Structure 1
Amino acid sequence: MNVLITGGAGFLGAALARRLAAQGVAGRSVERITLLDRAAPAQPIDDPRVCHVAADISDPAALERAIGEHTGTIVHLAAVVSGQAEADFDLGMRVNVDATRLILERARALGTRPRVVFTSSVAAFGGPLPARVADDTRALPQSSYGVQKAIGELLVGDYTRKGYIDGVTLRLPTISVRPGAPNKAASSFASGIIREPLAGLPAVCPVSTDVRMWLQSPDCAVSNLVHAISLDGALLGIDRTVNLPGLSVSVGEMIGALREVAGADVAARVRFERDPVVERIVTSWPSDFTAERARTLGFVADRDYASIIRAHLASHGVHTAA
Structure 2
Amino acid sequence: MHIVITGAAGFLGQRLVDRLVSARELAGQTLSRLTLIDQVEPNRPVSGGITVHSQALDISQPGALDEVLAERPDVIYHLAAIVSSAAEEDLDLGMRVNFDVTRALVEGCRRHGLSGTRLVMASSVAAYGGNLPEILDDMTALHPQNSYGAQKAMSELLINDYSRRGLVDGLVLRLPTIVIRPGRPNAAASSFASSILREPLNGEDAVCPVDTSLNLFVMSPATVVDALVHGANVSGDVLGPFRAFMLPGITVSVAEMIETLREVGGESALAHVRYEPDGKIEAIVGSWPSSFTNLRANKLGFRSERDFRDIVKAFLDERA
Question: How far did 1:25 drift?
Answer: 1.7
Partner of 2:316: 313
Moved more, 211-220 or 104-113: 104-113
Partner of 1:165: 168
Work out whether residues 38 and 55 of structure 1, in 8 Å CA contact, stay in contact via their aligned partners in 2: yes
Tell me the distance in 1 between the aligned counterparts of 2:62 and 2:319. Answer: 36
Gap regions ≥5 residues in structure 1 = 318-322
Tell me the distance in 1 between the aligned counterparts of 2:198 and 2:41. Answer: 23
Report the 3-state secondary structure (helix = DSSP H, G, I; strand = E; otherwise coil) of the residue aligned with 2:248. Answer: coil
Kindly provide the CA deviation profile for residues 252-294 of structure 1, in whole angstroms up to 9, marking residues without a partner as x: 1111111222222112211110000000010100011111110
Residue 285 of structure 1 pairs with residue 291 of structure 2:
no
Which of 232, 239, 244 does residue 242 from structure 2 map onto? 239
Residue 18 of structure 1 pairs with residue 18 of structure 2:
yes
Alignment of 1:87-98 (within 5 A): 87-98=89-100
- Letter paired with 2:114: T
Tell me the distance in 2 between the aligned counterparts of 1:199 and 1:30. Answer: 37
TM-score by length of 2: 0.96
- Letter paired with 1:8: A
Tell me the distance in 1 between the aligned counterparts of 2:214 and 2:313. Answer: 22
Work out whether residues 78 and 120 of structure 2, in 8 Å CA contact, stay in contact via their aligned partners in 1: yes
Kindly provide the CA deviation profile for residues 164-223 of structure 1, in whole angstroms up to 9, marking residues without a partner as x: 100000010011011011111100101111111111110001001101100000000000
Work out whether residues 44 and 54 of structure 2, in 8 Å CA contact, stay in contact via their aligned partners in 1: no
- Letter paired with 1:293: R
Partner of 1:63: 65
Tell me the distance in 1 between the aligned counterparts of 2:252 and 2:244. Answer: 23
Tell me the distance in 1 between the aligned counterparts of 2:165 and 2:44. Answer: 38
Tell me the distance in 2 between the aligned counterparts of 1:60 and 1:52. Answer: 20
TM-score by length of 1: 0.95
Tell me the distance in 1 between the aligned counterparts of 2:259 and 2:189. Answer: 22
Partner of 1:320: none
- Letter paired with 2:12: L
Partner of 2:36: 35
Tell me the distance in 1 between the aligned counterparts of 2:264 and 2:69. Answer: 44
CA RMSD, 1 decimal: 1.2
Work out whether residues 44 and 52 of structure 2, in 8 Å CA contact, stay in contact via their aligned partners in 1: no
Work out whether residues 259 and 266 of structure 1, in 8 Å CA contact, stay in contact via their aligned partners in 2: yes
Question: How far did 1:130 drift?
Answer: 1.3
Work out whether residues 69 and 110 of structure 1, in 8 Å CA contact, stay in contact via their aligned partners in 2: no
Partner of 1:156: 159
Which of 265, 273, 276 does residue 273 from structure 1 map onto? 276
Work out whether residues 181 and 194 of structure 2, in 8 Å CA contact, stay in contact via their aligned partners in 1: yes
Kindly provide the CA deviation profile for residues 101-132 of structure 1, in whole angstroms up to 9, marking residues without a partner as x: 11111122221311100111111111111111
Report the 3-state secondary structure (helix = DSSP H, G, I; strand = E; otherwise coil) of the residue aligned with 2:210. Answer: coil
- Letter paired with 1:313: L
Question: How far did 1:44 drift?
Answer: 4.5
Aligned length: 316
- Letter paired with 2:196: I
Report the 3-state secondary structure (helix = DSSP H, G, I; strand = E; otherwise coil) of the residue aligned with 1:222. Answer: helix
Tell me the distance in 2 between the aligned counterparts of 1:67 and 1:242. Answer: 26
Kindly provide the CA deviation profile for residues 70-125 of structure 1, in whole angstroms up to 9, marking residues without a partner as x: 31111111111100100000100011111111111112222131110011111111
Moved more, 271-280 or 59-68: 59-68
Work out whether residues 130 and 287 of structure 2, in 8 Å CA contact, stay in contact via their aligned partners in 1: yes
Partner of 1:79: 81
Residue 193 of structure 1 pairs with residue 196 of structure 2:
yes
Residue 103 of structure 1 pairs with residue 108 of structure 2:
no
Moved more, 170-179 or 252-261: 252-261
Gap regions ≥5 residues in structure 2 = none
1:83 and 1:28, CA in 2 relative to 1: closer, same or farther beyond 3 A?
Answer: same
Tell me the distance in 2 between the aligned counterparts of 1:31 and 1:62. Answer: 23
Which of 113, 131, 136 does residue 133 from structure 1 map onto? 136
Partner of 1:7: 7
Tell me the distance in 1 between the aligned counterparts of 2:11 and 2:168. Answer: 26
Tell me the distance in 2 between the aligned counterparts of 1:309 and 1:74. Answer: 30
Work out whether residues 260 and 306 of structure 1, in 8 Å CA contact, stay in contact via their aligned partners in 2: no
Q: What percentage of residue pairs aligned between the two structures are identical?
A: 50
- Letter paired with 1:55: L
Tell me the distance in 1 between the aligned counterparts of 2:203 and 2:53. Answer: 35
Report the 3-state secondary structure (helix = DSSP H, G, I; strand = E; otherwise coil) of the residue aligned with 1:62. Answer: coil
Question: How far did 1:299 drift?
Answer: 0.5
Kindly provide the CA deviation profile for residues 16-56 of structure 1, in whole angstroms up to 9, marking residues without a partner as x: 01101111224432111111101134x64222533211111
Tell me the distance in 2 between the aligned counterparts of 1:17 and 1:50. Answer: 10
Tell me the distance in 1 between the aligned counterparts of 2:124 and 2:290. Answer: 12
Partner of 2:228: 225
- Letter paired with 1:38: Q
